[in-house]
Structure 1
Amino acid sequence: MIEVQSGPLAGRTRARYALFLEADEAAARPLREQRAGMEAWIRTILRILGGDEAEARAPFLMATAEGILLHRITIDPDAPIEESIARAVDATLAQP
């Protein structure tokens, strides 16, 4: 997903970020709803894989992915993805 959003769909991603930053509440509502749906999906997957504690770490995993995405569309379009996401998933699923 990060590769597609920062590659062929990079223009769409930039527009989405601009809307998040500049749109009024009514215009941003669909974006926030879409993000909430994505977060619910990620939480479900994490709960299945690692239980309630992993589910609670969904914002960490999503922030990592968003950071990589932002870095790729603003600084380095070829920045590696897999190792960073793998480490974030491991940390998300790790037992304290």
Structure 2
Amino acid sequence: MIVTVTRSGGFAGLTAHGELDTSFQPDAARLEAAVRALDQGRLGSGLPQPDRFVYRVEVRDGGDARHLTVAEQDLDQTTAWLLERVLGS
């Protein structure tokens, strides 16, 4: 499973990008569980607020791909960990 995250916005308006292939990670099971838990309906509208980040996530698993947008104010603890893990890779 390949997870791509692009973070934009924030006070300075900087963009960060990261990509992670979960199959080569020692915590692959935790990463993949966090990816499976991503649910746009549960994570809110994805609409930005002033000086806050917006995360665009793409998940590719085999031939399937899905995209979602998550606003910083809508992050839960698991999703925040996943996004920072991918961005830090």
Q: So what's the TM-score if we normalise by structure 2?
A: 0.28
> Where is the strand percentage greater, Structure 1 or Structure 2?
2
Q: So what's the TM-score if we normalise by structure 1?
A: 0.27
Choose between structure 1 and 2 for higher RCO, CA contacts under 8 A separated by at least 6 residues.
2
